[in-house]
Structure 1
Amino acid sequence: MPVTNTYKDQLGREVSIPYPPRRIISLVPSQTELLYDLGLNEEVIGITKFCIHPDEWFRTKTRIGGTKTLHLEQILALQPDLVIANKEENTKEQVEYLMQHVPVWVSDIWQLGDVRNMIRNIGEITGKSERADEIAGNILFGFKGLIDEVQQQEEDLLRTAYFIWREPWMVAGGGTFISIMMRHCGLENVFEDMPRYPEIALEQLRTADCELILLSSEPYPFKEKHIAELQAVRPDVRIELVDGEMFSWYGSRLLKSVPYFRELRERLKNTDRIPRSD
């Protein structure tokens, strides 16, 4: 007889899941990549159209819609024994619909501690605890070194605006995983006092106490041509294109974030400091 275990997800819900699950669907790109790195190639049967890593899964696995536009009946037809979702990236109504029919484990990521717990929990659920503990441990070890380096620097954190969208212009505000990653990278989010992902007028950027602007590669694919658009508003500020996955993907991709952040910090060392207005 198949064994069914009960686990708590990161919303505090108790979820009964067959052990180990044999038919897994992931609704979150960063967690899809984690499942691959855990060695669950046969078990994962469905992913979203935004789950671009690894490429071989993107090309061969069944796609079940977008993170916020799930094909619900297609998911149920695949008869998953585990669906892995995320509170922020997926739509509440769609996830709650799936909960009525199949086991759904939901992550809720705010900081590195949540990442550690998510990775270890998914490892336990899928029978891959040893590999999950290794990944989580390496992530935390890498970030501890980076955070120590940032804390040892004598200068203030670089005052930064991180753009995620255009038309309307949107930035990462406070209470976001991106904002936490910025601080670990030695950057102070100038929109930290605004909620989540606010729209801003370019006039707000003109008056912001800002010395660096980062344009993310996702969800909006900022390119070189967009630099000039914002440089016209803030000719005094350095503008850089950055890999958004390194700031916002909270699975095993974080293993690559630390060396990326170190390289970015080296590039930014030549940024001229703007005296604080206060």
Structure 2
Amino acid sequence: MTNDGFPQRIVCLTEEPTEVLYALGEEGRIVGISGFTVRPPRARQEKPRISAFTSAKLDAILALQPDLAIGFSDMQADIAQALIKAGIEVWISNHRSVPQILAYIRRLGAMVGAAEKAEAYAATLQARLDTVAAAAARLPRRPKVYFEEWDEPSISAIRWVSELIGIAGGDDIFPERARAPLGRDRILADRDEVIRAAPDLIIGSWCGKKFRPEQLAARPGWDAIPAVRDGELHEIKSPFILQPGPAALTDGLDTLHRLITAWAARHAEPCPA
């Protein structure tokens, strides 16, 4: 790749910049990726893995001679600090909402000289969101949804997941928690809050491990929850929904909408005779 004045050797410390750069046809700029990257699948074959989420192989990163490292959130502050001290330029984004994910795509595209491609890509994703929202508006009923992203302690949905639940046709039972900036603010100190909220649908996405519906259903008093009583306990794999990038707006949203639509069909009011 010729030097066009934009970053030429990018290290991606999380999956979403990798997925975006591949989608924009700018993957040639990537020299290292997160070990948690699964999208696109070929990235794992083409790029060396140099970090986890809260730790990184500093020597391996420096050996790649990056001119930019891209990460996400306060959780990667220590990695960012080490790279900055080593003289590497670092961009740590902190996008938490659906509009912010779209803005992130546009900013990242502009940073690599692909602003027009990024704008077109963001517009395609927005159109997909609009299509799903229009379909959701036609559902006969909207379920109350509890989304759990970790089990011990129980942590409820982050902001973009809460918003996607709404777009897909459901209502997050803890929308106020979803707006909190830090994960610790979404910890349920009292699981009885879920019992009192009586969700119709429970979706587990235990970040990095398999969702165990039988363990969730066995929690004291949870047999009274409509979702538990009706067997409405479902999983969305965390790479599809807990990365603040294209995956959440595509596969994540589609899975949410499929689960909610199926619930609405099973619980539609019968037609009068």
Q: Which has the higher strand share?
A: 1
1:249 equivalent in structure 2:
243
Shift of 1:217: 5.5
Alignment of 1:1-278 (within 5 A): 19-88=5-74, 90-100=75-85, 101-151=87-137, 153=139, 155=141, 157-172=142-157, 176-194=159-177, 195=180, 196-216=185-205, 218-223=207-212, 225-226=214-215, 228-229=217-218, 233-235=222-224, 236-237=226-227, 238-253=232-247, 254-272=249-267
Mapped partners of 1:259, 1:151: distance in 2: 15
Number of aligned residue pairs:
254
Q: Can you give the 5+ residue segments of structure 2 that lack an aligned partner in the other structure?
A: 269-273
- Counterpart residue type for residue 237 of structure 2: D
User: Deviation at 1:154?
Assistant: 5.9
Provide the C-alpha distance between the structure 1 equivalents of 2:84 and 2:103, rounded to a whole number of angstroms: 22
Which secondary structure does the structure 1 equivalent of 2:79 belong to?
Answer: helix
Q: Residues of 2 paired with 1:262 and 1:179: CA distance?
A: 13
Q: Which residue identity does 2:197 align to in structure 1?
A: A
Report the CA distance between 1:26 and its aligned residue. 0.4
Which 5+ residue runs of structure 1 have no aligned equivalent?
A: 4-17, 274-278
TM-score by length of 2: 0.80
Quote how far apart the aligned CAs of 1:213 are: 1.0
Residues in 2 aligned to 1:56 and 1:84: alpha-carbon distance in whole angstroms: 20
Name the counterpart of 1:11. none
* Percent pairwise identity: 21
Tell me, what secondary structure is at the counterpart of 1:165? Answer: strand
Q: Do 1:162 and 1:215's aligned partners in 2 also have CA atoms closer than 8 Å?
A: yes
Instruction: Give the secondary structure class of the aligned counterpart of 2:144.
Output: strand
Seen in structure 2, the aligned counterparts of structure 1 residues 230 and 269 have a Cα distance that, compared at 3 Å, is farther
Displacement of 1:73: 3.5
RMSD: 2.8
User: What is the CA–CA distance in structure 1 between the aligned matches of 2:22 and 2:215, rounded to whole Å?
Assistant: 34
Higher helix content, 1 or 2: 2
Amino acid at match of 2:160: F
Contact 1:166–1:220 (CA under 8 A) maintained in structure 2 = no
Whether the 8 Å contact between 2:12 and 2:32 is mirrored in structure 1 is yes
SS at match of 1:91: helix
